[in-house]
Structure 1
């Protein structure tokens, strides 16, 4: 049970950091991966020590989102976080988490677009846009990342932990 609480705290750190900075640092990703590996070794994770599902989840999280990174639609931190997340939840749960996170991210982008065109709530539009900064160096498209996708993955995972998983 204490590993689940540590995992939930890790998710909260990812949410806060991604919303505030629009990036997920490597130390935070590595901490989550180490936590997932510890849970797997102890058989205390939601998968009960199913290494195959966890490794498939990590590979899928990395591989699928790497395509979005390569096209400039996502940051590298999002890709690495999805891989660490897949290690924790495994491949079966990762698909439903992706769907929920993508729906939330889609709502974020639609709301941001609407508020940019019709500034009814300028503070909300600024909050959705994220911190003002230059485009990420080394990003294929050179665009500024405005959607905190790792945060939405973390929120969807927290909801899955509370309501979705069948233990």
Structure 2
């Protein structure tokens, strides 16, 4: 196993999370557990795409869980979002979590604004839009776990580009 395999595992997991979140606004525990197992497996085999040790992965999980748990407790975030953030802590380490959180929150804010604009323009009859607007069961929401995994995937790609350009 080498770093490219770890990177492939991470991207595959991130894609599954993003698709599940966008389509159903639900991420099964089996997807979360698979990501956690892959992250720790890569950490133990020293083939993770972010170069995280097992100790860093464990600390990342705890920090990721504790950081977003209050938002879940207040009803502002789903449990899957918190669990995915914890798994990202295992993949990326705690040092990356603040940046990932900020990037994902920015993306989620842009998505929420887009939903507001498209909803208002449809109501006013200004725009005829028949495509999906991330509406599920009559509720508009942002797939935050997808935003998190896209931010982490973009960071991985940027790291790879930086290495190639050196």
Task: Provide TM-score, normalisation by structure 2.
Answer: 0.85
Q: C-alpha distance in 1, partners of 2:158/2:8?
A: 15
Q: Given the alignment of the two structures, is residue 112 of structure 1 paired with residue 107 of structure 2, yes or no?
A: no
Which residues in structure 2 correspond to 1:15-94 (within 5 Å)?
15-94=18-97
- Deviation, 1:121, is 5.0
Instruction: Give distance in 1, aligned partners of 2:63 and 2:128.
Output: 38
Structure 2 CA distance for aligned equivalents of residues 11 and 48 of structure 1? 17
Which of 124, 130, 133 is the aligned partner of 1:128?
133
The alpha carbon displacement at 1:54 in A equals 1.9
Q: Could you tell me whether the CA contact under 8 Å between 1:36 and 1:84 is conserved in 2?
A: yes
TM-score normalised by L of structure 1: 0.84
List gaps (5 residues or longer) in structure 1: 134-143
What are the ranges of 5 or more consecutive residues in structure 2 without an aligned counterpart?
A: none
Describe the SS at the equivalent of 1:73: coil
What is the alpha-carbon distance in structure 2 between the residues aligned to residue 62 and residue 145 of structure 1? 25
Report how many aligned residue pairs link the two structures: 155
| Residue 114 of structure 1: how far off its partner (Å) | 1.9
Q: What are the superposed Cα offsets for residues 44-91 of structure 1, whole Å, 9 maximum, x if unpaired?
A: 114535233322221121111111111111111111111111111001
| CA RMSD between the two structures | 1.9
